[in-house]
Amino acid sequence: MKILVTNDDGIHAPGIEALAEALRGVGEVAVVAPDRERSAVSHALTLHHPLRAECLGPGRFAVDGTPTDCVNLGIHSLLDFHPDLVVSGINRGANLGDDVTYSGTVAAAMEATLMGIPAFAISLVCREGHGDYGAAAAFAARLAGTVVARGLPADTFLNVNVPDLRADQLLPPLITTQGKRRYEGTIVDKVDPRGRCYYWIGTADLAFLDIQGSDSAAISAGHISVTPLHLDLTNRSSIDMLRKWELC
C-alpha cells in the first residue's frame, strides 16, 4: 500500500508525525504538507503565484501552500509513486458538523477523491494544547487497510473524529451523519489602542444541535465518528419543488 499523508496544521505538527508513523506499519508513506499552519483555508488552491516545495528528508516535503496544493503537488509532481490512499490529519481539534466546509484537513481528502483516489480525514477532538494522538493514529492505520481492501462508494470520502481518550476508554466506531452547529455570537468586535475597530472571528465556543446519529452526538458519547461525505452537493429532494418556480 502506498499512502500520501497531508494536513492543515503544518508539517511539524505532532498529529501528522503520529499519523505517518502509524501508517508506516501498513504501507509506504510519503508526507507532503504545508510549511506552516493553514487551518480553515477550506478547499483553497493557489493560482496566482508559484509554489515552492522543500524536501526535508526521504519522502517528506514542506509546501508553501494549502492542503489542496499539497495533494496536487504530491500526486502530480513530487512523489515517485501514485498513492493508493490519501490520509489527511491528524488535525488538532474537531472537524464536526458544519466545520467540514471550512476545514483544510477535510478539503485535502476531498481533493484526492476528486482525483479518484480513496481518502479520509481524521481529527482529534481536543482542546487547546496537545492531545494524545496515539489512539487516533492506531485507528487510522486500521481504517487505511479497510478502505484500500474494500473500497469506498463512488465520489465518497470519510471524515473521522476521535475523542481525546485512551484506546481502552474509546467506545466502538459509529457511522454517523454530519451534525449542525448553533451559530450565535461568533464575532468579537472591539477598538484597538489607536481607536480603530477590529473584529475577531471564531472566538466563541459554539455548541452543536442535539441530533441523534450525528458526528457530534457520537463524540459526546465517547465513540469514534466516521462520516461519509459526498462530492455531489446537489439537494436532490428540492429539485421537484424548484422546478415549479416561474423563473422565466
pTM (two decimals): 0.93
Concatenating the DSSP letter of every residue in 129-149 gives S----HHHHHHHHHHHHHHHH
Chain segment 117-170, per-residue pLDDT in tens: 999 999 999 976 668 999 999 999 999 999 999 999 999 999 999 999 988 899
Domains held by the chain: number: 1
Chain segment 48-82, per-residue pLDDT in tens: 999 999 999 999 999 999 999 999 999 999 999 99
Residue 90 falls within a domain, yes or no?
yes
Contact 166, 173 (CB under 8 A): no
pLDDT at 204 over 90: no
Residue 193 falls within a domain, yes or no?
no
Confidence class for position 6, pLDDT limits 50, 70, 90 = very high
Residue 248 falls within a domain, yes or no?
no
The parent domain of residue 224 ranges over 2-181+209-242
| 159, three cell numbers | 471524515
The string over 116-129, giving b where at least 16 C-beta atoms fall within 10 Å of a residue's C-beta and e elsewhere, is ebbbbbbbbbbeee
Residue 201 falls within a domain, yes or no?
no
Looking up residue 224, the CATH number of its domain turns out to be 3.40.1210.10
Q: Span 200-204, mean pLDDT?
A: 71
Give pLDDT, residue 85.
98
User: What residues does 185 pair with on adjacent strands?
Assistant: none
The distance of Cα 103 from the centroid of its chain, to the nearest Å, equals 6
Give pLDDT, residue 189.
87
Residue 32 falls within a domain, yes or no?
yes
Chain segment 205-242, per-residue pLDDT in tens: 668 889 999 999 999 999 999 999 999 999 999 999 99
Residue 197 falls within a domain, yes or no?
no
Q: From CA 7, how far away is CA 25, in angstroms rounded?
A: 19
Give pLDDT, residue 205.
65
Q: Span 186-210, mean pLDDT?
A: 84
